[in-house]
């Protein structure tokens, strides 16, 4: 059994203890439900009870699946993993993003893997550099404006295993530190 990280938030939002959630979900046969079926069931139950009830339904579903051992933290319903690292930079998005693009485009590999199909995009709120990897995973480096500072978010999705996700998280954490110090 894995203790989900967001239990306190769920308890506060729903005014229901985690033990009560587990008892009720177990009693209703939730262990046998697919992720989608459980999320839909909770969505219906929470509608009209909570603001952003769909978001809470997903959160409770994931926490329950972690609690009963269907998945571990960071694992998606399809069995793949995702991770994210974020840092605040003491510079504007307009300054930081071009530096990041140049740095990323000058790398021939990341953590031993060659980037495929690199591309950039910008919206009024964020700038993103993306690439794919041969294992099917996808990476993005996003910069969001935060007053005179900016927030750097490195995220990696569809990572095949927990060990690879842990290795990538360490790699991207070190990369974020390096990029912010530039």
**20 within a domain of the structure (yes/no):** yes
Q: Judging by beta carbons within 10 Å of its beta carbon (0-12, 13-18, 19+), is residue 82 exposed, middle or buried?
A: middle
Q: Mark whether 43 and 20 lie in a shared domain.
A: yes
116-130 pLDDT tens trace: 999 999 999 999 999
Pair 93, 151 in one domain? yes
pLDDT band, residue 3 (cuts 50/70/90): low
Q: Are residues 156 and 100 in the same domain?
A: yes
What CATH number should be reported for the domain holding residue 130? 3.30.310.50
Instruction: Report yes or no on 98 lying in a domain.
Output: yes
Mark whether 86 and 58 lie in a shared domain: no
Do 60 and 141 lie in a common domain? no
Q: CA geometry: angle at 90 spanning 86 and 91, to 5°?
A: 100
Q: Are residues 52 and 90 in the same domain?
A: no
- Share of residues in the chain with pLDDT > 90 (%): 64
Alpha-carbon radius of gyration of the chain: 19
For residue 176, the model assigns a pLDDT of 95
Average pLDDT over the chain reads: 90
142 inside domain: yes
Residue 95 lies in a domain: yes
pLDDT of residue 147: 77
Please tell me whether residue 139 adopts helix, strand or coil conformation: strand
pLDDT at 146 over 70: yes
Does residue 75 fall inside a structural domain? no
pLDDT score at 182: 62
Q: Based on the fold, state whether residues 117 and 175 are members of the same structural domain.
A: yes
Name the band, by pLDDT with cuts 50, 70 and 90, for residue 113. very high
Domain count for the chain, please give it: 2
pTM to 2 decimal places: 0.75
Residue 107 sits in which domain range? Answer: 81-181
Q: Are residues 49 and 102 in the same domain?
A: no
Specify which residues 84 forms β-bridges with. Answer: 155
Taking only the tens place, the pLDDT of each residue in 43-76 is 998 888 888 888 898 889 888 888 888 888 788 8
Residues 57 and 88 in one domain: no
Whether 112 and 174 map to the same domain: the answer is yes
User: Among residues 67, 91, 113, which one ends one of the domains?
Assistant: 67
């Amino acid at each position: 059994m894995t203790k989900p990280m967001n239990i306190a938030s769920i308890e506060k939002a729903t005014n229901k203890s985690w033990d009560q959630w587990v008892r009720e979900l177990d009693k209703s046969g939730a262990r046998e439900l697919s992720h989608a079926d459980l999320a839909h069931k909770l969505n219906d139950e929470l509608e009209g009870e909570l603001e952003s009830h769909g978001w809470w339904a997903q959160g409770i579903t994931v926490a329950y699946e972690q609690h009963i051992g269907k998945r571990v933290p960071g694992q998606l319903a399809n069995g793949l993993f995702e991770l994210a690292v974020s840092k605040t930079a003491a510079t504007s998005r307009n300054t930081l993003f071009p530096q990041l693009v140049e740095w990323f485009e000058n790398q021939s590999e990341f953590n031993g893997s060659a980037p495929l199909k690199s591309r950039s995009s910008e919206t009024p709120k964020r700038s993103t550099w993306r690439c794919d990897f041969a294992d099917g995973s996808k990476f993005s480096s996003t910069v969001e404006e935060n007053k005179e500072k900016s927030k750097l978010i490195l995220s990696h999705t569809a990572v095949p295993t927990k060990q690879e996700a842990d290795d990538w998280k360490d790699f991207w954490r070190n990369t974020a530190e390096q990029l912010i110090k530039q």
